[in-house]
Amino acid sequence: MSNNTQETAGFNFAPQVSAAAQADIVELSTKIKGFRDNTIDSEKFRSFRLTRGVYGQRQEGVQMIRIKLPYGKVTTDQIIRIADISDKYGSSNLHLTTRQDIQLHYVKLENAPLVWNELEEVGVTLREACGNAVRNITASYTAGVDPNEPFDVSPYAHSMFEYFLRNPICQDMGRKFKISFSTSEADTAFGFIHDLGFIPRVKTVNGKEVRGFKVLLAGGLGAQPFVAHNVHEFLEEDQLIPFSTAVIRVFDRFGERSKRHKARLKYLVNGIGVEAFMEHVAKERIAIKDKSVVIDRNRVDEIILPAVTSFTEATPVDAVKFERFVKANVFEQKQKGYFGVQLKQHLGDLKSDKARVFAAIVKKYASDDVRITVNQGWLLKFVKKEALPALFNELNEIGLAEPGFDSMADITACPGTDTCNLGISSSTGLSVEIEKMLLEEFPDTVFNKNIKIKISGCMNACGQHTIGNIGFHGMSIKNGTNVLPAMQVMLGGGLEPDGTGTIADKILKLPTRRCVEAVREILTDYDTNATEGEYFNDYYRRQVAAEKMYFYKLLKPLSDLETLTELDYIDLGHDEKYVTEVGVGECAGVMIDLVGTLILDTEEKLKWSKRLQQNATPADAIYAAYATYVCGAKAILTGEGVACNTQIAMINDFDKHLVSTNKFSIAGGSFASQVLCMSEHEPTKEFADKYIADTEQFVQQIKTYRAAALVTV
């Protein structure tokens, strides 16, 4: 930690920690104390800490800390700091996720502010890594070096990350919101499963190159997956952030808030139709503060090339393995003479001691711009060809030189029952066993990049099982009075050769220990019946077209419960008999329906609005005032026994149950008109001043109304 620090509320903050981050860290510490002192409601505290990257674990008394790393970019100094923090506060392990984050496990709640402070010193945040906010913005890990990219999307992803961080429009949404940037039409960042997916395109206008993006809207995975809609063939680059802002504002207002499982953007768009949704987005554009945002194409730091520029000839410690490693894991970048080196990270887990060695290796042989990949691995960039043997040798010593990156043998798996409250059966245990079988029986799978195996511990798809060519998600099966671990088998999902996305079909569920045999059966059938060079999904669809129940019949014998053994009642990777233990999920904030708490929240939002007003940011101040109105309306409606759902429903219900019944007086006679006029005006200072003044009057009214209601009880 830097010696040049300043003390604030008991924290020694280094100069590089921004004032906003300092305020966040102090606030988190204060909220933790309030929670421990029972002065803050537990559900309200959970909603708060989630948007600060603090997530409850399956194990009592410890937290998972999710570190937000936009588009997976991380430097060697940051890797070292994260490793040090994991040793100091966690389990000495770095876990890479499919959203290009790093997670630390087994952190005590009181240490979360200390973790955050030490991360901020190296330019890393926890803010909005979890909760009902814009989550980590992902991108193709090859951005900047992809030979097929029209341009580098990294500056666009970074600019969007900065724009929405702490932005008032996305601090208390009904559910999380996910954004991705792919490098090309191949859509390797899976835009088709995101709330917003962007694919770069270039066209020539009057002899000049114009950059823009194809826009995909309202995709998603989970228990009910949706493929995104194509809503723009070419959105010019300066409209990227304004369009996204309008989409988020519409989602915030019209999105579900009561039924959490229906609260994602995909359900809203599916419910009202994509055309109606886009009409709302077009209308919302008048009220946003930035009608055009010019992206600084140099926003991402300049590439720092390897420290060593000349290399003595090295002999690979294992010539055969080296040859397979280069064939499977290495590609030539668009910068001729440089190579990208892709590394498998088994289960996404890297021990902290090896992480420090890894950082030293990167500094020597690659640029100081490591990318975490969407399949829980690493990409090293700007490696010279003559450095590959020596790089391989050093990576091999720490177990990071295994061939088969992004191949069939590079299985994606979430932590599942290892740490997650929602895990039903062991995704990691099954991953280990399948990979072992593949390497022993199908060794050339390390070169097969057309079949992806993905495993989740439950139906919520953190392991992205619904876009696996072969996918599994955790379940359980009841056999008499006994319960055994199981997996739902899914086939035919993923990226098609043309870059479009497909959702996998459910086939049947099997005892977990029989899923290895299921993979063996499927691959054997594929080898036997696929035509030369036939893509797996084409083979799958052809077989199903000929006989709808083909794969069900192929795997059905494995589901026979009459042949179970005692081992089938023990989950993979475990020694004890299986017991279903599913806790409360924390993938987003939980609704808080205590009227008094809601009124306190309303007052806090008003203070926030007035601070933004004083800082001369009228658009943000207006939106914070809008959030104040909604929160206040929800408080009174809750006290009246009216169920609260979407924001727009709350606004209309306030008119229906309170204004029209003369229980509540609104100047002009319509609460909806008073609140929603914010979308009909340019966000000028004059309008902001009037809107916030009206909001302040409304807050006084609801406090008076609530006080009177308590007297009559």
Closest CA relative to residue 165, chosen from 269, 56, 241? 241
| Residues 446 and 337 occupy one common structural domain | no
The model's confidence at residue 4, banded by pLDDT at 50, 70 and 90, is low
What contacts 675, CB < 8 A, 6 or more positions away? Answer: 626, 629, 630, 633, 651
Residue 165 and residue 94 share a domain:
no
Report the C-alpha gap between 133 and 252 in whole angstroms: 10
CATH number, domain of 600, equals 1.20.120.330
Question: pLDDT value at position 312?
Answer: 80
Distances (CA, A) of 428 to 304, 453, 472, 519, 580: 36, 12, 11, 16, 17
Residue 625's SS3 state is: helix
Question: What is the Rg, in whole angstroms, of the alpha carbon atoms belonging to the chain?
Answer: 26
- 310 lies in some domain: no
Measured between alpha carbons, how far is 170 from 177 in angstroms, rounded to an integer?
9
Total domains present in the chain: 5
Task: Show the tokens assigned to 631.
Answer: 């929160």
Domain's final residue, options 397, 423, 457: 397
Q: What is the DSSP secondary structure assignment for residue 220, as one 8-state letter?
A: B
Is 365 a domain residue?
A: yes
The alpha carbon dihedral of 306, 124, 114, 353 has a sign of negative
- In terms of phi and psi (left: phi > 0; alpha: psi -120 to 50; beta: otherwise), the region of 451 is beta
272 and 344 together in one domain: no
Q: What residues pair up with 179 in beta bridges, in sequence order? A: 196
In a domain, 403, yes or no: no
Please, which residues have CB within 8 angstroms of residue 622's CB and are 6 or more apart in sequence?
287, 609, 678, 683, 687, 688, 691, 692
Q: What is the pLDDT of residue 415?
A: 87
- Mean pLDDT along residues 57-84: 95
Return all residues near 499 (Cβ < 8 A) that are at least 6 apart: 184, 185, 186, 187
CATH number at residue 386: 3.30.70.3340
229 domain residue, yes or no: yes
Distance between CA atoms of residues 633 and 637, nearest Å: 6
- 392 lies in the same domain as 416: no
What pLDDT score was predicted for residue 624? 96
pLDDT of residue 173: 92
Summarised one tens digit per residue, pLDDT across range 475-510 is 999 999 999 999 999 999 999 999 999 999 999 999
What's the pLDDT tens digit per position in 571-599? 999 999 998 765 555 554 433 336 887 89
N residues, the chain: 713
* Cβ burial 114-135 (10 Å sphere, 16+ → b, else e): bbbbbbbbbbbbbbbbbbbbbb
At residue 668, the pLDDT reads 84
Tokens of 75: 């430097």
pLDDT single digits (tens) 346-385: 999 999 999 999 999 999 999 999 999 999 999 999 999 9
CATH of the domain at 108: 3.90.480.20
Residue 431 lies in a domain: yes
Q: According to the model, what pLDDT value does residue 2 have?
A: 45
Q: Are residues 560 and 664 in the same domain?
A: no
Q: Which of 215, 217, 292, 220 is nearest to 248 (CA)?
A: 217
Check whether residue 150 and residue 232 sit in a common domain: yes
Q: Residue 124: CB partners within 8 Å, gap ≥ 6? A: 67, 68, 69, 78, 81, 82
Residue 405, domain member (yes or no):
no
432 and 563 inside one domain? yes
Range of the domain at 200: 138-287
Do 529 and 658 reside in the same domain of the chain? no
Sheet holding 330-332, edge to edge: 73-74, 370-372, 378-384, 338-343, 330-332
pLDDT given for residue 581 in this prediction = 67
Asked whether residue 20 falls in the same domain as residue 163, the answer is no
Same domain, 672 and 561: no
Q: Please give the Cα distance from 474 to 481 (Å, whole number).
A: 20
Residue 542's CATH number: 3.30.413.10
If we measure between CA atoms, which residue out of 165, 175, 157 comes closest to residue 120? 165
Q: Is residue 215 part of a domain?
A: yes
pLDDT tens by residue, 308-360: 778 888 999 999 999 999 999 999 999 999 999 999 999 999 999 999 999 99
Do 366 and 504 fall within a single domain?
no
User: Do residues 557 and 646 both lie within one domain?
Assistant: no
* 3 pLDDT higher than 80: no
